[in-house]
Amino acid sequence: EVQLQESGPGLVKPSQSLSLTCSVTGYSITSNYWGWIRKFPGNKMEWIGHISYSGSTSYNPSLKSRISITRDTSKNQFFLQLNSVTTEDTATYYCARYYGYTGGFDYWGQGVMVTVSS
Amino acid sequence: DVVMTQTPVSMSVSLGGQVSISCRSSQSLVHNNGNTYLSWYIQKPSQSPQLLIYKVSNRFSGISDRFSGSGSGTDFTLKISRVEPDDLGVYYCGQGTQYPLTFGSGTKLEIK
């Protein structure tokens, strides 16, 4: 069974960087696409970006200047770094598998709530 | 970006009833390869989103046949029949045809 688990700090100060890890079990990240999505207070959901089976990345242009998604295939983990955070980055962050055949996110982590506050 | 517009914002339904949720995209979701990458998700209280439907009308593994998706081009519908208590939550449509990937604003389903 494919399982994903996010980890990282729940509180980040404005202007600092947010770093999250997604640990995947039951499936190799050298197949398919592995993404980050965030849900803001309220219901708005935003795709942040993803890293492919080959290590190539796609980012949301609205965040492109501030984000980096990388991976460690030896640990079957991928990572999100979001720089220069503001209070508007306060959200629950999810990692998920994006399955190209379906065009959807079929397996999700449980999410990590990140608050940006001084 | 492709804007996904969902209606209604919220709705209340009796157990055993039927609901329809609409999702409209600002551009056609037909990909160059001929597929239409429109998905539906549910986020139940205190849980992560779950994939219900992919490519307009295909139920994901383990999803009840009470859930059905239809539509084409820019207009799509999710129908839930014989509503059960476990169906409450927020439903989202999402598109995977064009980058950046985008989601609808959500429809909250409450049980009367």
Q: Chain B partners of A61 at a C-beta cutoff of 8 Å?
A: 100
Provide the shortest C-alpha distance from residue A78 to chain B (in Å). Answer: 19
Q: What is the pLDDT of residue B112?
A: 86
Kindly report the nearest CA distance between residue B21 and chain A, in angstroms. Answer: 16
Is A64 a residue whose pLDDT tops 90? Answer: no
B103 touching chain A per CB within 8 A: yes
Summarize pLDDT for A65-77 with one digit per residue, the tens. Answer: 999 999 999 999 9
What is the arithmetic mean of pLDDT over A95-108?
95
On average, the pLDDT of chain A sits at: 97
Tokens read off for B81: 């029949």
Nearest CB neighbour to A109, from listed B41, B48, B95: B48
CB A43 to CB B106 under 8 A? yes
Is residue B39 less than 8 Å (CB to CB) from chain A? yes
Peptide bond into B8 cis (omega under 30): yes
Chain centroid to CA B6: 9
What average pLDDT does range A34-60 have in this prediction?
97
pLDDT band at residue A94 using 50, 70 and 90 as cut-offs:
very high
- Rounded Cα distance, B60 and B4, in Å: 21
Identity of the residue numbered B48 = S
One-letter amino acid at B7 equals T
- In this prediction, residue A65 carries a pLDDT of 92
Rounded to whole angstroms, the Cα distance separating B76 from B60 reads: 17
Q: Mean pLDDT per segment of 10 residues, for chain B of length 112 residues?
A: 97 96 98 97 97 98 97 98 96 97 97 88
Q: Which amino acid is at B27?
A: Q
Inter-chain CB proximity B51 and A106 less than 8 Å: yes
Burial (CB < 10 A; 0-12, 13-18, 19+), residue A49, is: buried
